[in-house]
């Protein structure tokens, strides 16, 4: 069973913990959860077996966390504030933990570190490229359409895969729509602030958020790792967990 804690505004968030050792905070993707992103495919055990503690947050609106319908629960940058609240709740100081994010979790991690809110020892960015940061409004419009036209999207529509995934995860669509409005584009100039060793890990066929190799080239101290798969299925393969462990163990 997950533990729960109060975020900055009192929203109850769930956190799943496995293993002992250096703490690794893991942030999942949009419409996903700690279970779907990290636990189901065994990435948490790969980290635990390598001597880390996997600390996996369920963002608000996701997994076992609350999904409030009050618009006041979605201030700008709310997920960054949730991640910071978790680190504060755990009592972790700068440099005492590693930070890993996939897709939305990667965006959140970059915003947090780029704005000086979190200072991990090492940072692993998965399933994210430059376009996913600088062109978020375009990407968000796709997901807003999935929610707004949920009942009319049919097979063959480019939005159908995302609709199917959202439905399978039982995500509260009202809360998810509010959450999407709480995120904005990232100023790429702030990538210069991300000075810790960074692993940019991406599926060979994953272009959903633009070029991960380009992102790695811009970051001050980054290494690019290619793993099999695309944006949807790279997370289902052990290669992702192996790449994360390899980078964090270097």
pLDDT, tens digit, for every residue of 55-76? Answer: 999 999 999 999 999 999 999 9
What average pLDDT score do residues 112-124 get?
98
- Contact (Cβ atoms closer than 8 angstroms) between residue 14 and residue 64: yes
pLDDT higher than threshold 90 for residue 137: no
Q: Which domains does the chain have, with CATH numbers?
A: 3-134+186-248 (3.40.50.1820)
How do residues 150-207 score in pLDDT, each as one tens digit? 999 999 998 999 999 999 999 999 999 999 999 989 999 999 999 999 999 999 999 9
pLDDT score, position 230:
97
CA-nearest of 105, 250, 129 to 200 is 129
Sheet holding 123-126, edge to edge: 3-6, 12-18, 52-58, 22-27, 98-102, 123-126, 198-203, 222-227
Cβ pair 138, 124 in contact under 8 A: no
d(C-alpha 129, C-alpha 103), whole Å: 9
Q: Can you give the pLDDT at residue 136?
A: 86
CA 4 to chain centre: 19
Chain centroid to CA 159: how far?
Answer: 20
Task: Lowest mean pLDDT of 93-102, 130-139, 183-192, 234-243, name the range.
Answer: 130-139
pLDDT score of 235 more than 90: yes
Residue 138 has pLDDT above 90, yes or no: no
């Amino acid at each position: 069973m997950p533990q729960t804690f109060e975020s900055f505004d009192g929203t109850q968030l769930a956190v799943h913990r496995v293993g002992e050792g250096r703490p690794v905070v893991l942030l999942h993707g949009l419409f996903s959860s700690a279970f779907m992103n990290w636990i189901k495919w065994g990435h948490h055990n790969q980290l635990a077996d390598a001597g880390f503690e996997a600390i996996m947050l369920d963002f608000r609106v996701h997994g076992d966390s609350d999904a409030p319908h009050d618009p006041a629960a979605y201030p700008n940058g709310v997920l960054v504030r949730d991640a910071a609240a978790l680190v504060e709740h755990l009592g972790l100081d700068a440099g005492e933990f590693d930070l890993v994010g996939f897709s939305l979790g990667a965006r959140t991690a970059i915003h947090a570190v780029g704005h000086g809110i979190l200072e991990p020892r090492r940072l692993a960015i998965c399933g994210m490229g430059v376009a996913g940061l600088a062109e978020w409004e375009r990407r968000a419009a796709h997901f807003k359409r999935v929610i707004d036209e949920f009942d009319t999207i049919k097979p063959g529509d480019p939005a159908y895969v995302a609709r199917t995934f959202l439905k399978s995860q039982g995500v509260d669509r009202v809360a998810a729509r509010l959450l999407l409005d709480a995120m904005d584009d990232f100023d790429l100039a702030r990538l210069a602030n991300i000075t810790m060793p960074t692993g940019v890990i991406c599926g060979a066929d994953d272009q959903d958020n633009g070029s991960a190799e380009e992102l790695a080239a811009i970051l001050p101290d980054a290494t690019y790792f290619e793993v099999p798969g695309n944006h949807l299925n790279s997370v289902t393969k052990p290669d992702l967990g192996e790449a994360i462990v390899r980078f964090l163990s270097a």
